Chains A and B, each alone.
Chain A
Amino acid sequence: MLEIRWHSRAGQGAVTGAKGLADVVANTGKYVQAFAFYGSAKRGAAMTAYNRVDDQPILNHEKFMRPDYVLVIDPGLTYTADITANEKEDTKYIITTHLSKEELVKSQPKLEGKEVYVVDCMQISLDTIGRAIPNTPMLGALMKVSGMFELDYFKDAMKKVLSKFPQKIIDANMAAIERAYNEVH
């Protein structure tokens, strides 16, 4: 079982991201789960979303998770949220930031010695989609780091998931995925 935790702010699209990933994965015949924690807070509040992926039907309904991947799509949450909670020895971190990996780890010593990848999903989404919705670029970065799917396969599958939207938006999202795929390191 593969487990993923997203850290985001309400309105940044973590739930949509987790759901989009689930849609893509389900199309490959695997079993998926996507869920999130909700509180009373309105826009801008810190929140977490989750994915589980398995070859077997998923029976586990506990919220507790020891994630294989932690995806941080809001730069500030690296400092204010407990992003290393319940980590495993080999938990991988993909973090939205404009900093280099070294600068990031220095600014957040909790990440010292961890497998950390950086990518500026905020900037990428502003450049490509024109709004700060860093979820799709994060999925591009995840594909690269995890090797879950080939870039082209994933883009095709995401096109289907986004098929309700105008072509312009689909294209912008594709550009965002591709850029994050290439830029994450």
Chain B
Amino acid sequence: MVKKIKNLKEFSLSNDRFEGANLMCPGCSHNIIVREVLNATDDPIIVATATGCLEVCTAVYPKTSWDVSWIHIGFENAAVAAATVSAAYEVMKKKGKLPPATQKMVDEGREPKIVAFAGDGGTYDIGFQSLSGAFERGHNFMYVCLDNEVYANTGGQRSSSTPIGASTTTSPAGSVSYGEKMMKKSMVEIMADHGAPYVAQVSPSKWKDLVKKVQKGFEVNGPVYINAQSACTTEWKHAPEDTIEVSDLGVDSCVWPLYEIINERDEHGIIYSTKLNITYRPKKKIPVEEYLAAQPRFRHLFKPENRHIIDLWQKAVDARWEYLQKREEAGV
């Protein structure tokens, strides 16, 4: 059942199933994203979470921040955890053996939504195998990557989501290094290429866009991938109160474009249509430099010897923005 949301005030006050006063840093985006996803529906939700900041800060015995069914197994298997819960749900539904309360909700048209949350480490890196398998098998669940471009929980090591030039604790800037050497992996396209019916990139600062995409994702049948920008005050090293501003800079510079990819399949599973829609177009595309300048993890790039990396960044962002626009235009 799609929830109607009138305005931000009402949205932020809606039935909370996730306690925001947990052990995460003040100003953490993970908190905001999880609340936005959970508040996007009034249907029951079942959550699987990978090891990472979100998990270690919200489920420390004897307390829990979750008022939904929730599981954490390990770091590399959130996708298979959620996918298998989904499979179990399907089996019990077919057998007519769902718990009565759940059955009642289902009868009312309120099917449980099964959501996995994992960090970029748990998604792009160690959990990728599990994620890829679960998507290929086509389970009905939503996978949300809380992408702060770093292993925050263990103290800020690089991941394959870390963008070039970022100083992390395993790709530190130093007298002979400008920090991370590799470009960020294009996870959204990779997941779309698994044939998933719905894949999207979101930012917590553009909450309406985020909620709309999550609601769309809940409506389709099959695996859904949502890549959420998650500014991390501790590892990006901006002030906690600047989280939303930094997120906006990401979106308005097109470093973090907001878009969706929809794959439509026929009854044999053959994809007959792929569409990419850009869902937010900045009125004025700001220079990438402004985004980088707002985050001390990039501070060293402003030294003369590293300036070329900023130019590279701008080129890469422009090229990508161009690519997305072309795809949208061509309807592929």
Contact = CB atoms under 8 A, between A and B. Distances in A.
Direct contact of A and B (CB under 8 A): yes
A173 to B, nearest CB: 20
Contacts of A43: 25-26, 233-234
Interface in B14-28: 23-26, 28
Contacts of A126: none
A42 B26 CA distance: 9
A44 B60 contact: no
Contacts of A41: 23, 57
B233 to A, nearest CB: 8
Contact of A40 (B23, B26, B28): B23
Interface in A27-51: 39-45
B145 interface: no
A45 B25 CA distance: 9
Contacts of B53: 42
A44 B23 CA distance: 9
B310 interface: no
B60 A42 contact: no
A41 B60 CA distance: 9
Nearest to B53: A42
Interface residues of B, number: 11
Contacts of A45: 23
B56 interface: yes
Nearest to A40: B56
Interface string B296-307: 000000000000
Interface of A: 39-45
A132 to B, nearest CB: 13
A42 B56 CA distance: 9
B110 to A, nearest CB: 33
A74 to B, nearest CB: 15
A40 B24 CA distance: 9
A45 B23 CA distance: 8
A44 B25 CA distance: 7
A44 B53 CA distance: 14
A106 to B, nearest CB: 30
Nearest to B24: A42
A44 B234 CA distance: 11
Contacts of B25: 42-44
A133 to B, nearest CB: 15
5 contacts: A40-B57, A40-B60, A42-B24, A42-B57, A43-B234
Contacts of A40: 23, 56-57, 60
Contacts of B234: 42-43
Interface string B222-242: 000000000001100000000
Most chain A CB inside 10 Å of its own CB: which residue of B23, B53, B234: B23
Contacts of A44: 25-26
Nearest to A45: B23
B171 to A, nearest CB: 19
Nearest to A42: B25
B265 to A, nearest CB: 42
Contacts of B60: 39-40
